[in-house]
Chain A
Amino acid sequence: MKIVVLWSDALIFLLVAVIATFFWNMRKDKILTERWRQVFSSRLGMVAFVVIASYILIALLDSLHFRKALEPVEGQPADQVFYENRATSVLDVLMGDMADENERTYSAPFSLKSFEKVNMKADDGSSIRDFPPLVHAGKHLDDPADKPADIVKQTFIALIIAIVVCAFWIGPQWYFLRNSELPWKSAWIAQAVIILVFVWLIYVGNLYHVLGTDKAGNDVLYKSIKGIRTGVLLGTLATLVMLPIAVTLGVCAGYFKGWVDDIVQYLYTTLSSIPGILLIAASVLLFQVYIDLNPDFFTIGLQKADARFVGLCFILGVTSWATLCRLVRAETLKISQLEYVQAAHAFGVSNYRIIKRHILPNLTHIILITFVLDFSALVLAEAVLSYIGVGVDPAMTSWGNMINEAREELSQEPAIWWTLAGAFFFMFTLVLAANLFSDLVRDAFDPKTVDGGAKA
């Protein structure tokens, strides 16, 4: 086994560290903790948070990559090990064999047979045209007619496993948090439901293709779950890139005014006057040209796709700081007129210290609101960008790529709906949870509860 650290892996763990420090520092701030308490004191907030946290957990598990060692072939020296040409993640291990259970082509959910007829040799040697049985679905069944009963049975087994997992996972939480005022009960119910769903999906998904297979015969459920990492990482990394640019420039413009302000305003007006999608498209295409012309940088295919992915995050970040910068500038202008900043000037406090002690802490609500609002917007944007052809690498699993494939499939007769359904379900759940959560965060943190993001 050889550990592989992709750029995006490193960045997402860096982001986790940054956010953890941020919250650790915030813990001293009574006002902010009070606001967070308000967010979490609603049951909806708890549930939405649990859903988002589960997605993030899956994304993190899917970001720990390694390459498996290949079985030594004959004649290979004992001290030499070869590794698989693809990277496996911890999540893949948890999901069992789903990654490898490829069929020939389409198959419907829970089906035992392929979706398309092929010519086959019958037992008596004659050539017939029929739906071939699937290689990996229901192979433990003696008789295909047992399928419905077997699904119920396997569901039951999955349920028992899930209950055991729940007991170990939720039990300690209950013990430590039972006297808390926050609605932890809702959180536990949400966790239980999520554990239940995932245990069932993975357990039954290893026996059948719960969401069928796609054109290349890949398990759609597996793809949908792998899409989580792409969505979550894109939603967070792009913001991570954008935040420092927007905040630095916005604070400088609003605090120092004068020519600094003129330059920053010029920069963001220029940037926002370029149609966003064209700028992103052009940048991604140019970056792709660069990747194509430098194939030697990447040892495995995943690294190439990852380079494009990280590039996309950077491009999204660098092209989208204008809105936040404008908000930060306006707020900084407002704060620097306030009397406590005037008082600090009267005390001769240095500019650096005024920004650090008086301005930045009072911008946290804007940064937070932007972070959660942008998250869902970016997840949705990924789908559109992938459709246009400037999203993530086509080789990388993402919901956008899945929807893109599904477009043709729906017009087939009979329609192939499961790819779309898989992408829809996982994407919708995440975006809905993020939107509900961002609503609550905004209500709690924004003194005025204005939709700043909707402004052009």
Chain B
Amino acid sequence: MFAYIVRRLIYAIPILIGVNLLTFVLFFVVNSPEDMARSQLGEKYVTAEAIENWKKENGYDKPLFFNESNKGLSSVTETIFYTKSVRLFMLDFGQSESGRDITADVAQRMWPSLALALPTFAIGIWTNICVALLVVMFRGTALDRGAVVLFVGLMSISYLFYIIGGQYLIAKMWRLVPISGFDASIHAWKFLILPIVIGVISGIGAGARWYRTLFLEVSHQDYIRTARSKGLSEITILFKHVLPNALIPILTGVVVVIPLLFMGSLVMESFFGIPGLGSYMLDSIERQDFAVVRSMVFIGSILYIIGLILTDISYTWADPRVRLN
């Protein structure tokens, strides 16, 4: 197990290097710092001087890979590649283009994101499994068929409609909760409850439908037939035999996203004015603040790799047949 985790961590290094190179190519080679300066400054007829100033301010006035004017180690470190990309490995995210410290921003904005994403995720899975179990209990009946059509209908509605509709109905028409906003204290629940409810409901269609398929697939296995031949009741079979086996594919799909919950949801947070990482990313996309986007790409990749490792570990827990080596 330990050897396995160490090996996976070693495997992660080339992947992170790949991510790093890819983002570097995207941000500095496809578009040169001049291009970015031009579009940041916005004007069509900016002077060469303004561009140079902007580059200097933001630390883009260095060569890409190799600085000939410097000697020794600094010929490599005094480059855009080193200052902007390699330093990410030391979790040094530097400054955003508006001059704020990205590391501090991330550390502060992580928690509101988590406060929204974690409950949405946990309640969502719980709800989906319950709904799917209920439907599977009535398999083959009109209720089952109706539920499937309902699921497909629900998943055909854009996420945005759920948010806009939910905000309109619950917050504006019925005035049950505030439309948007956030509070750092325990009173945050007032603001969080609506996005959580909307997040859960918008996921039911796709989620419950997927779980239903998994449950049905398991219930066609030979060992379910054996369980029936032992005289077990359908409820016992569902909870003691179908559910534990269906948990294995559910885990693979679900565990990998847990670390990514820190990243929050772009759309949800901006709609409800929650100052998390999601709205942070959205703001930086809108302001074309590539320093932040680059850092978030890197953080996201790390979290994804952690998610993959967690998935494998959770496998051993859910499925006795799997051993890591």
Contacts and interface: CB of A to CB of B under 8 A. Distances in A.
Q: Do chains A and B touch in the complex (CB under 8 A)?
A: yes
Interface of A: 266-267, 269-275, 277-279, 281-283, 285-286, 289-290, 292-293, 376, 380, 383-384, 387-390, 399, 403, 406-407, 410-411, 415, 420, 424, 427-428, 431-432, 434-436, 439, 448-451, 454-456
Interface string B180-191: 000000000000
Given A282-B27, A410-B164, A439-B152, A275 B15 contact: no
Nearest to B153: A432
Contacts of B248: none
A384 B160 contact: yes
Interface in B257-292: 257, 260, 263, 266-267, 281-282, 285-286, 288, 290
B285 A388 contact: yes
B89 to A, nearest CB: 15
B217 interface: yes
A438 to B, nearest CB: 9
B217 A456 contact: no
B133 interface: no
B156 A431 contact: yes
Nearest to A288: B39
A275 B260 contact: yes
A456 to B, nearest CB: 4
A285 B40 CA distance: 12
Contacts of A286: 26-27, 30-31
Nearest to A379: B158
Contacts of A428: 156-157
B213 interface: yes
B304 A273 contact: yes
Interface in B237-252: 252
B217 A266 contact: no
Nearest to A293: B35
Most A Cβ at <10 Å: residue of B153, B214, B281, B285: B285
B289 to A, nearest CB: 10
Contacts of A275: 260, 263, 296-297, 300-301, 304
B296 A403 contact: no
Contacts of B23: 274, 282
A88 to B, nearest CB: 29
Nearest to B38: A293
Interface in B272-325: 281-282, 285-286, 288, 290, 293-294, 296-297, 300-301, 304-305, 307
Contacts of A424: 157-158, 161
A399 B159 CA distance: 13
A454 B156 contact: no
Given A278-B297, A428-B157, A456-B256, A388 B266 contact: yes
Place the interface of chain B in its size category.
35 or more
Contacts of B294: 282
Given A449-B217, A456-B253, A407 B286 contact: no
Nearest to B173: A415
Contacts of A434: 156
B82 interface: no
B296 A292 contact: no
Contact of A403 (B38, B160, B252): B160
Interface in B143-164: 152-153, 155-161, 164
Nearest to A271: B22
Nearest to A429: B156
Given A275-B260, A278-B300, A410-B168, A384 B159 contact: yes
A426 to B, nearest CB: 12
12 contacts: A274-B297, A274-B301, A278-B297, A289-B31, A380-B159, A389-B286, A411-B179, A431-B157, A431-B158, A449-B213, A451-B214, A456-B252
Contacts of B281: 278, 281
A427 B30 CA distance: 35
Given A278-B296, A282-B294, A431-B156, 10 more contacts: A269-B15, A274-B297, A278-B297, A282-B26, A293-B39, A388-B285, A411-B172, A450-B213, A456-B256, A456-B307
Contacts of B290: 282, 285
B297 A451 contact: no
Nearest to A403: B160
Please provide the 7 A-B residue pairs with the shortest distance between their CB atoms, ordered closest to farther. Answer: A275-B300, A270-B18, A432-B156, A431-B156, A273-B304, A456-B256, A273-B301
B12 to A, nearest CB: 9
Nearest to A451: B210
A420 B304 CA distance: 35
Contacts of B22: 270-271, 274
B293 A278 contact: yes
Contacts of B179: 411
A269 B19 CA distance: 10
